[in-house]
Amino acid sequence: MAEGLMRGAIDTRVGRAAVSRHDADMDEVRDVAARLARAMETIIEGKPAVIRTTITALLAGGHLLIEDVPGVGKTMLAKTLARAIASAVRRIQFTPDLLPSDITGVSVFNPESRQFEFRPGAVFANVVVCDEINRASPKVQSALLESMEEGQVTVDGQTYMLPQPFMVMATQNPLEMEGTYPLPEAQRDRFLARISMGYPAPAAEMAMLDSHSGRSPLDELVPVTDAQTVARLVLAVQSVYTSPALRHYVVELVTASRANSALRLGASPRAALHVVRAARAHAALEGRDYALPEDVQRVSPAVLRHRLVLSPDAVIARRTTDEVIVELLRSTSVPAAPH
Amino acid sequence: MRWDQSHAGAPVFSAVVATVLAMSTLTPLIDSPRWLVLAFLAVMAVASVGWCLQRMTRSRWLVMLGQLVASSVVLGWLCAGTTLWWGLPTWTTGQRLIDQCRAAGAEVVAGTAPLAASPNLTCALVAVTLGLGIVVHLVAIGYGAPAATGLLLFIPVAAAAANTTGGLSWLSFAAPAGGWLLLLGRDTSSSLARWSTSPALALTPTGTPRSEDQADTGFAARSLSLAIGGIVAALTCAAIIPHLPTRYLLDGLAEGINGSGNGAQVGYSSTLDVGRSLASADSSEVFRYRTTAQSAVPLRVIVATSYEDGVWTRPTPTLGTTARSDVAASVQRSEQTVTVRANTLAAPALATPQPLVGADFKGAAWQIDQATADVYVETRPSDYATTYLALEITPALLRDGVDGIPGDDRLPSNRTVQQSLRLDLASADRIRALTAAVTRGTSNRYDAALAIQHWLRDEGGFSYSLELAAVIPGPTALDPISAFLDSRRGYCVQFASTMIMMARASGIPARMAIGFLPGIWQDGEYAVSSADAHSWPELYFPGAGWVRFEPTPGGNVGSPPAWSVPAATAAPTTAPGPSPSVNPSGSGQPTQPGDQGVEPVDGEGVTEVDVPWVERARLWLTDPWHVALTLLTLVLTGSLILPSTAAIRHRRGHPHGGSDAEREWQRLMSDLADLGVTAPERGTVRQTANHIAAEERLPETTTNSLLTLVDAVERDRYARPTGGQGDRSGELRLAARHVWLTVARGKTWSRRLRAFLAPSVGRLWWREHAHRVTGRGQPDRRPEGGGRWRR
């Protein structure tokens, strides 16, 4: 239902009327995003919405939480994105014995120079794929989440900046909960969006069997852009204009979530911030230099669904977070004019 | 259930008003409107009882029963006060009421309009009103079908129309129609009120759910608009179509007396007894005829000139083959034929149109009276054809004579004319005095004749009755004319005789004509029965000859000829201004018929200056056409109030002070809403546009126009405000106009008309101001997308 609303909310005609009058930055964002999406679609077949959300999160400078059952291509998605950008990519398999220093890096004494040298950890990359993030101890999780939030790493009182762009794509398996350390709400809040891969359609699955049976298709993937370009685009996206009316709309939306009886925990102010950032990126993907309520509506399910906690009554009534988000979007008036 | 919501008293009392308005059309038939006041009070009382009862019981039949009981009590109080027992009706009361109604029925059958408002008649009318009121209440409120009461309310209108001379005025149809609309309007508004209290449909922004209530509302609104349309059409037809010959819907109540009708031949005696009651009217058919003329004329059988001891006798005929014509050669004329068949009129009498110029009696031997043009046949022809002159007799001709000079001294001095000036000795003095009073202020013969006819028809208080009043022993016993003047009751013979005598008293030769009215239109011909037998006066005017007048009032006698009806605006008998003495130069002018038509207009032009404008406006408004014109202008002006309000408001701009794009968008949305195009409530601009494009199946170009506008609105609302953005208002207005035109083209014309006449912006403005003036709370303003509305 959420997908239906999202598809309905954005009309492809938006761009056509708007393109001609926009500055080059947004056109570039759109072109690069389109190239990126095309490249990713050759690997991840039949999932354009997932790819679009991924690119939106990338351009918004946010991090992505991919939650789904094993074997649907979570890691493949992350690797595909990293490969398509031609950037440094690191993959960390989270296990209970992982240490924070494995993530952040460690200072090692160099006898020759008689100085401590910093050996960067796995987090020093443009795209960091954190497999099964809930299997590591909370200490390790928090080390990662700190660097996600700050964009920097501090070891032995020395602060090291992380490369730009920097994106964490964490996966987690909702089924095997034994021996895991589920991410607390406060930490989940730091991910810009959460997506589920879902099973591919039969046709896409057959194509996948054909292309993935031999050697890895990733090897054939030619990068379509580079990290510098993406970093520039992330900056450009931040210049997308959000009008007071639109910000008012977002505030109305999160306020409504806090008052909704089906929710035990509503959207945080950071959620509102993330919605606006994602809406900016989405507007840029459409080639616009201003965000519309449609952008907010389109990104809201992905941005909000891992932050809202259903009330016990709603759980018993078998309602889902996505349903509640659709209801919030429908019952919140779109601002007509600046207030 | 409608029974519940009728607890509000408004529908009950609109039913009362509708009933009384419908009955009010009968007022011209009764000489005093007092009964209507009584009827109104009675119906009001009974309706109040019904209203109270329906708060106590849900059974509509119990309510009706209670109203019937209340009616009998009210009727008892009004009409049979002496028979009540402690204010309650008794058996005797019922008997008395039934007797009174019977007596009233007899009065109605015997007399004709205007009837005297006797206590019996008043009682019967109140009873009828009460009955109608109860049935209307039952149908409109008990069964919730106010539209169906239209038929009930039409009954009094039809009765009034059937018994009014010359047809009912189209204005008198408006009152019951208005009452009916009031009932219908109440129904519609209560449906709407119910609709607004029905639970709102939660969270269904897309599509327009057609709930039953909405369908109901649509139906009620449509029935109201249909009703208004029908009534406007009826009034327009009545106002536009020229006056047609009277057709009697119910043949007139006074024809209810039906004699034996044994099919015997109908004959004409050569005498006519003025003092005899016409108790047995026979309705057997006498003949049928068709005519080439546009309107049928009465066919004359004989003419009587001498009156003595209450009996008219015709002069000894001077038989020949030609008759003298008194018509001047300059009178406009056309030859028309009348073809008679199935003639049963006994020889030697024969019904012919006059003035006769030719005839084919199919072999029957015939002769014609040279003086009167009466035709005598030896044997009765079953079929025959006659040709007569249809003269265009104008008031100018009758007033001024054929050559423009009033021909007081131009009366031919033949025997017929001499006889036609002789007064009846028994009543001569009285007739002279009366005539002098009636014709006071008239300056010529024609105006005098008009005044006499008007007095007998309307002013004098005469009523038509086939039964004459009992002869009062005394000096007038042998003088039917004086008896008639005393009793003021009679039929055509008395009216005609009196007019003849009064005309003679004012110097106009007059004679009695006896014949047949055109009868009933059947299968392309007129069927004339003996009930159509009629007598009328013929007055002699130099140049025009013997001219028919019609002093007999009532529904079942002839309508007065065109020349004997004074025109409403000219009013020569009442306006003292333009008389020949005022304008002496007229007599010296070359006298040509063409000038006659111009001069009086000039004279009026001069006198109009002196009349104050209020008086002039009042005079102007006496013409129904002018009233209709004024009403039309008022309605047109009134109907333009809402559109012009909307236009002004649009020009002033949106209250949010938006830009061109915003203004065009709001205007387009409100215009589309007027056309019945609705959009999801909380949608974005683009969602609204896409919804409209899909719902209305807009073509590609129109969709692009709509999207151009959407793009501008989105930029205006959400893009970074920049200074120099160029003026795009023209382009956007064109785009909005394009969309509106495309959508409107797909709508019905009635929807478009409604959207034009009652734009929601205009309605909202007036409602806001009404609330501001009355100070009754805040108007229910719907948020235009920006309000904080939470469920």
Q: Which of A73-87, A302-316, B288-302 has the highest mean pLDDT?
A: A302-316
Cα dist from B477 to B377, B429, B461, B481, B502, whole Å: 38, 16, 22, 10, 20
Using CB atoms within 10 A of its CB, is residue A221 exposed (0-12), middle (13-18) or buried (19+)?
A: middle
Say if A252 is an interface residue toward chain B (CB within 8 Å): yes
CA distance A9 to A2: 10
pLDDT in tens, B183-195: 887 766 655 555 4
* Residues β-bridged to residue B375: B368
Whether pLDDT at A214 is above 60: yes
Dihedral of CA B4/B8/B9/B13: which sign? Answer: negative
> Are B755 and B671 contacting, i.e. CB atoms less than 8 angstroms apart?
yes
Is the pLDDT at B577 greater than 60? The verdict is no
Answer whether residue A278 shows pLDDT above 90: yes
Q: Do the Cβ atoms of A243 and B718 come within 8 Å?
A: yes
* B223 has pLDDT over 80: no
Please write down the HEC assignment for all residues of chain A. Answer: CHHHHHHHHCCCHHHHHHHHHCCHHHHHHHHHHHHHHHHHHHHCCCCHHHHHHHHHHHHCCCCEEEECCCCCCHHHHHHHHHHHHCCCEEEEECCCCCCHHHHHEEEEEECCCCEEEEEECCCCCCEEEEECHHHCCHHHHHHHHHHHHHCEEEECCEEEECCCCCEEEEEECCCCCCCCCCCCHHHHCCCCEEECCCCCCHHHHHHHHHHCCCCCHHHHCCCCCCHHHHHHHHHHHHCCECCHHHHHHHHHHHHHHHHCCCEEECCCHHHHHHHHHHHHHHHHHCCCCECCHHHHHHHHHHHHCCCCEECHHHHHCCCCHHHHHHHHHHHCCCCCCCC
pLDDT digits (tens, 9 = 90+) for B418-427: 778 888 887 8
- Predicted pLDDT at B112: 60
Q: Report the alpha-carbon distance of residue A54 to residue A32 in Å, rounded.
A: 14
A vs B: CB pairs below 8 A: 81
Q: According to the model, what pLDDT value does residue B244 have? A: 44
Q: Quick one: pLDDT at residue B272?
A: 61
pLDDT of B252 reads: 32
pLDDT at B478: 65
Beta carbons of B682 and A333 less than 8 Å apart: yes
Spell out the domains of chain A, with CATH numbers in brackets. Answer: 27-238 (3.40.50.300), 240-333 (1.10.8.80)
Q: How far apart are CA B123 and CA B101, in angstroms?
A: 7
The answer to whether A255 contacts chain B (CB < 8 Å) is no
Give the pLDDT of residue B405.
Answer: 58
**Residue A251's pLDDT is what?**
92
Residue B627 has pLDDT above 90, yes or no: no
Confidence of residue B573 (pLDDT cuts 50, 70, 90): very low
How are strands ordered across the β-sheet holding A127-131?
A: A89-93, A127-131, A167-172, A64-67, A193-195
CB nearest to A243's CB, from B656, B658, B717: B717
Distance CA A131, CA A103 (A): 13
Q: Provide the 10 A C-beta neighbour count for residue A235.
A: 13
Q: CA dihedral defined by A46, A50, A56, A61, rounded to 10 degrees?
A: -130
Distances, alpha carbon B192 to alpha carbons B9, B39, B146, B213, B483, in Å: 17, 33, 15, 9, 64
The yes-or-no verdict on residue B584 having pLDDT over 50 is no
Q: Which of B664, B718, B731, B784 to mutate to test the interface with A (most CBs of A within 10 A)?
A: B718
Q: List residues of chain B with CB under 8 Å from any CB of chain A.
A: 203, 205, 654, 656, 658, 662, 681-687, 690, 707-708, 710-711, 714-715, 717-720, 783-791
Please give the distance of CA B523 from its chain centroid, rounded to a whole number.
26
- Using CA atoms, how far apart are residues B298 and A304, in angstroms rounded to an integer? 96
Instruction: Provide the pLDDT confidence category of residue A8 given band limits of 50, 70 and 90.
Output: very low
A261 touches B at CB < 8 Å: no
Q: What size, in residues, is chain A?
A: 339
Question: Can you tell me the distance from the alpha carbon of B3 to that of B24, in angstroms, rounded to the nearest whole number?
Answer: 28
Element (H, E) at B306: strand B306-308
What are the two backbone dihedrals, phi and then psi, of residue B551, each rounded to the nearest 5 degrees? -85, -10
Percent of chain B with pLDDT over 70: 74
| Beta-carbon contacts of residue B224 (< 8 Å; ≥ 6 apart) | B181, B184, B185, B187, B188
pLDDT digits 0-9 by tens, B147-173: 888 888 888 888 887 776 556 777 778
**Residue B51: its H or E element:** helix B34-56
Residue B269's pLDDT is what?
Answer: 54
The distance of A102 to chain B (nearest Cα, Å) reads: 45
Write down the pLDDT at residue B160: 81
Confidence of residue B3 (pLDDT cuts 50, 70, 90): very low
**Which of these, B767, B762, B766, lies nearest to B780 by C-alpha position?**
B767
> For B791, which of A252, A331, A337 is closest by C-beta distance?
A331
For residue B385, report the phi and psi dihedrals to the nearest 5 degrees.
Answer: -125, 140
Q: How far apart are the first and last CA of chain B?
A: 29
Q: Around Cβ B290, how many Cβ atoms within 10 Å?
A: 15
For tokens 């379509």, the residue is: A224
Residue A337 has pLDDT above 80, yes or no: no
Cα distance from A150 to chain B (closest Cα, Å)? 30
With H, G, I as helix, E, B as strand and everything else as coil, classify residue B184: helix
**Segment B535-552, tens digit of pLDDT:** 889 888 887 888 888 888
- Structure confidence by residue, pLDDT tens digits, B692-736: 888 888 888 889 988 888 888 888 888 887 765 567 778 888 888
Q: Please tell me the distance from the alpha carbon of residue B247 to that of residue B250, in angstroms, as a whole number.
A: 9
pLDDT at res. B192 = 53
Judge whether residue A279 has pLDDT over 90. yes
Looking at CA atoms only, how far is residue A72 from chain B in angstroms? 34
What mean pLDDT, rounded, does chain A reach?
82
Provide the token pair at B720.
Answer: 């970074």
Q: Which helix (H) or strand (E) holds B91?
A: helix B91-110
The label of the residue with tokens 């402690």 reads B86
Quote the minimal CA–CA distance from B199 to chain A in Å.
17
Question: How does residue B662 score in pLDDT terms, banded at 50, 70 and 90?
Answer: confident
Residue range B557-582: mean pLDDT, rounded? 52
pLDDT band, residue B402 (cuts 50/70/90): low
Check if the beta carbon of residue B263 is closer than 8 Å to that of residue B342: no
Lowest average pLDDT, out of B379-388, B573-582, B652-661, goes to: B573-582
pLDDT of residue B413: 66
Are B682 and A327 an interchain contact pair (Cβ–Cβ within 8 Å)? no
Say which range, A187-196, A296-305, B153-162, B212-221, has the weakest mean pLDDT.
B212-221
Position B342 pLDDT exceeds 60: yes
Q: Is B510 in contact with B276 (CB distance < 8 Å)? A: no
Sign for the pseudo-dihedral over CA of B581, B583, B586, B592: negative
Contact A126, A132 (CB under 8 A): no
Token digits of residue B478: 């042998």
Angstroms from A34 CA to nearest CA on chain B: 23
- The answer to whether B534 touches B268, Cβ cutoff 8 Å, is no
- 10 Å CB burial of residue B1 (0-12, 13-18, 19+) is exposed
B476 vs A40: which has the higher pLDDT: A40
pLDDT band at A46 (very low <50, low <70, confident <90, very high): confident
Residue A256 near chain B (CB below 8 Å): yes
Chain B residues near residue A297 by CB distance under 8 angstroms: 684
Check residue A275 and give its pLDDT.
93
DSSP B455: I
- On whether the CB atoms of residues B391 and B333 are closer than 8 A, the answer is yes
Q: Which residues contact B279 (CB under 8 A, 6 or more apart)?
A: B257, B466, B467
Neighbours of B542 (CB within 10 A): 22
Chain A residues in contact with B658 (beta carbon < 8 A): 337
Token pair listed for B75: 């009727």
Q: Which of A11, A242, A295, A332 to mutate to test the interface with B (most CBs of B within 10 A)?
A: A11
Interface test with B, best of A16, A242, A247, A330 (most B CBs within 10 A): A330
What are the tens digits of pLDDT across the range A282-324? 998 888 888 888 899 999 999 998 888 888 988 888 888 889 9
Residue B743: alpha-carbon gap to chain centroid: 42
User: Any idea which of A93-102, B100-109, B575-584, B741-750 has the lowest mean pLDDT?
Assistant: B575-584
Across the interface, which of B686, B783, B787 has its CB nearest the CB of A11?
Answer: B686
CA distances from A309 to A185, A304, B107, B627 (A): 9, 10, 90, 74
Per DSSP, the three-state class of B70 is helix
Comparing alpha-carbon positions, the chain A residue that sits nearest to B655 is A337
Q: How confident is the model at residue A2 (pLDDT cuts 50, 70, 90)?
A: very low
- Could you tell me the pLDDT band of residue B238, with boundaries at 50, 70 and 90? low
Highest mean pLDDT: which range of A19-23, B7-11, B90-94, B113-117: B90-94
Name residues 204-243 of chain A within 8 A of B (Cβ): 241-243
Do residues B370 and B325 make contact, with C-beta atoms less than 8 angstroms apart? no
Q: Do the beta carbons of residue B31 and residue B117 sit within 8 Å?
A: yes
Position A22 scores a pLDDT of 40
pLDDT tens digit sequence for B755-790: 888 788 778 888 888 887 776 544 444 444 333 333
Q: Which two tokens stand for residue A167?
A: 């994106």
Residue B532: what residue type? D
Average pLDDT over residues B328-333: 80
Residue B657, pLDDT above cutoff 70:
no
Query: How many of the other CB atoms lie within 10 Å of CB of A264?
Result: 14
For an interface test with B, the pick among A6, A248, A297, A334 (most B C-beta atoms closer than 10 Å) comes out as A334
Section B572-591 average pLDDT: 37
Mean pLDDT of A128-136: 86
Q: Which of B283, B274, B288 is nearest to B252 (CA)?
A: B283
**φ, ψ (nearest 5 deg) of residue B402:** -75, -30
CB contact under 8 Å between B690 and A289, yes or no, is no
Distance, in Å, from the CA atom of A82 to the CA atom of B20, rounded to the nearest integer, reads: 89
pLDDT band at B30 (very low <50, low <70, confident <90, very high): confident
Closest CA to B463 of B43, B113, B47, B8: B113
Q: How far is CA A97 from the centre of its chain?
A: 27
Give the mean pLDDT of chain B: 74
pLDDT computed for residue B113 by the predictor: 61
Helix (H) or strand (E) holding B521, with range, is strand B520-522
B66-75, B151-160, B249-258, B294-303: the lowest-pLDDT one: B249-258
> Which residue did the predictor score with more confidence, B583 or B554?
B554
pTM of the model: 0.46
- Average pLDDT score over residue span B290-314: 81
Which strand ranges, in their side-by-side order, compose the sheet holding B533-541?
Answer: B299-304, B510-516, B533-541, B545-548
CA A11 to chain centre: 23
Asked if the model's pLDDT at residue B338 lies above 80, the reply is yes
**How far B742 CA lies from chain A's nearest CA (Å)?**
20
Work out the burial of residue A159: count CB atoms within 10 Å of its CB; fewer than 13 is exposed, 13-18 middle, 19 or more buried: exposed
B714/A292 touch (CB, cutoff 8 Å), yes or no: yes
pLDDT digits (tens, 9 = 90+) for A27-45: 888 888 899 999 888 888 8
